[in-house]
Amino acid sequence: MTETSTNEFSFVLKPSTHGVGVFAVQAIKTGTYLRLFGDEKELRHRTRHLQKSEVPELFRDYCVDRGETMMCPEDFGCMPVGWYLNHSNVPNAIHRDYHWYAARDIAPGEEVTINYNTLEEPEEAKQAYQFFTSGNGE
């Protein structure tokens, strides 16, 4: 059975409650693979690990905290849309080993959100997300 997948025309970056967010251009069915990081399905192939002290403060929101290091985009000047995903306690996208899928049907124009608490970050980072939610208050 072939996996259903979005393509390069499935998402657009737009202003969001939290700055910039990823929005669906078309309807996306539950279980669809979300092509958020280009053709490669494995996010870890499009990242680099830097010492936290090497990453300027303004760029840290676009990284995954690993304690002393940060998992960062390969190139901050050319980031795939997946790096702009915002947090929700009730996300419409989930990952299985960083392969992202629609957790439920996503409507055209709806922001695609994830739960940052699933990103294997230190507990202190997770606590900060308690108050950082999607525009619908979730």
Whole-Å CA distances, 29 to 92, 128, 137: 11, 31, 23
Q: What percent of the chain has pLDDT over 70?
A: 83
The answer to whether position 138 is within a domain reads no
CATH number at residue 74: 2.170.270.10
Q: What gap in Å lies between CA 8 and CA 88, rounded to an integer?
A: 24
Residue 137 has pLDDT above 50, yes or no: no
The number of C-alpha atoms within 13 Å of 1 and in the hemisphere containing its C-beta is: 3
- Indicate the number of domains in the chain: 1
Q: Which of 24, 36, 71 is nearest to 51 (CA)?
A: 71
pLDDT at 116 over 70: yes
pTM score > 0.75 for this model?
A: yes
Q: Give residue 96's domain range.
A: 11-129
| In a domain? residue 4 | no
Is 75 among the domain residues? yes
Residue 97's pLDDT is 81
What is the average per-residue pLDDT within 96-117? Answer: 93
Residue 1 is assigned to a structural domain of this protein = no
